[in-house]
Homo-oligomer: A and B are copies of this chain.
Amino acid sequence: MERLTADQDEPRSRSKTGAPVDAGRRILIKAALASSVLASLRAEPLNAKGIRMAENEKNAPPARALTYDDVRSVSPALEHYTKTALLDGVWKRPELTPRDRSLITIAALVARIQTIEMPFHFAFALDNGVTPAELSEIITHLAFYAGWANAMSAVAIAKEIFHVRGIEPEQLPPVKAKPLPLNAEAERQRATQVANNFGAVLPGLVQNTTDVLFRDLWLRPALTPRDRSLITVSALIANGQTGQITYHLGRAMDNGLTASEAGEIVTHLAFYAGWPNAFSAVTVVKEVVEKRPK
């Protein structure tokens, strides 16, 4: 959540007259995104064009961003925690950059189909230095690591943001690009182990894992291996898939993630995926970090 739109909604939502709600005055996410997120964070009135776009948007986008007023109208305490513990709290801790926190947050939202916060956080990520190409590639990557429909829910929202921000097709990662170098020996070991364990019972999974994931997707240059690992680990923690964390967190640290960053991912995700998912991850994260040669 967090604020995305201006306060035009407010008088209407508190109307006591019983008059029909003037829905046309609603400020949709598309309008909000037309102005910058930071501007809307300061609750500046949106310009007329932005409102006009919203009025014409009969087929509403999949999610409307909430305002602080919306949150306060249900829970003043939740608004308070959002501003203090979350935005002025964990987001400002120095252990991770705002860009990293945006990557982690996006991974959690997509992995959990938390569409209501995608409009804000996709736009916020772009403001935090995530490029449109990287956002595009994150969604592609998470199709494989969170599920095809999860990625499609993200597409529906990213499309609107890319449109409003004027992102051109040539800014997006191409279908084919010169792959990153493959660590052939490590990949041979991985492929052999998986094939020996599961090749007889699950030949299709083993083949797709090798051909599509580790020798294609992971070699795409649109994300650094470190960032690709960061969103993979974040998605695993966000969905409580603790059994898969050991391999991918080890790989993430091979790709440059530090021990301090690893711990802070869990702290950040406590807010976006809930404390229980964070605490389900702590034992395995601690084990991976502590067993790591210094």
Contact A57 B23 (CB under 8 A): yes
Inside 8 A of A49's CB, which chain B residues have their CB?
Answer: 18
Expressed in whole angstroms, the minimum distance between the Cβ of A287 and any Cβ of chain B is: 9
The residue of chain B having its C-beta at the shortest distance from the C-beta of A240 within the complex is B241
Q: A244-B280, A277-B241 are in contact. Are A26 and B74 (CB under 8 A)?
A: no
> Which stretch (A37-45, A123-131, A179-187, A197-205) binds chain B?
A197-205
The residue of chain B having its C-beta at the shortest distance from the C-beta of A60 within the complex is B59
Q: A148-B1, A149-B272, A275-B144 are in contact. Are A204 and B267 (CB under 8 A)?
A: yes
Contact A285 B201 (CB under 8 A): yes
**How many identical subunits does the complex contain?**
3
The distance in angstroms between the C-alpha atoms of A231 and B82, with both chains bound, is: 21
Contact A73 B267 (CB under 8 A): no
Query: How many chain-A residues does the 8 Å CB contact rule pick out?
Result: 125
Inside 8 A of A153's CB, which chain B residues have their CB?
Answer: 114, 116
A-to-B contact residues, CB < 8 Å: 1, 13-14, 16, 18, 20-24, 26, 28, 49, 52-53, 55-60, 62-64, 66, 70-82, 85-86, 89-90, 93, 95, 108-109, 111-114, 116-117, 136-137, 139-140, 142-156, 158-159, 162-163, 166, 169, 172-175, 197-198, 201-205, 208-209, 212-213, 217, 220, 222, 235-236, 239-241, 243-244, 259, 262-264, 266-268, 270-280, 282, 285-286, 289-290
| A/B interface sample: 29 pairs, CB < 8 A | A1-B149, A14-B163, A20-B55, A20-B56, A26-B59, A58-B58, A62-B63, A62-B64, A66-B152, A71-B152, A74-B139, A76-B172, A76-B173, A78-B140, A79-B175, A81-B140, A93-B204, A113-B114, A114-B150, A116-B156, A117-B149, A145-B275, A202-B263, A202-B285, A208-B267, A209-B275, A213-B275, A236-B276, A240-B241
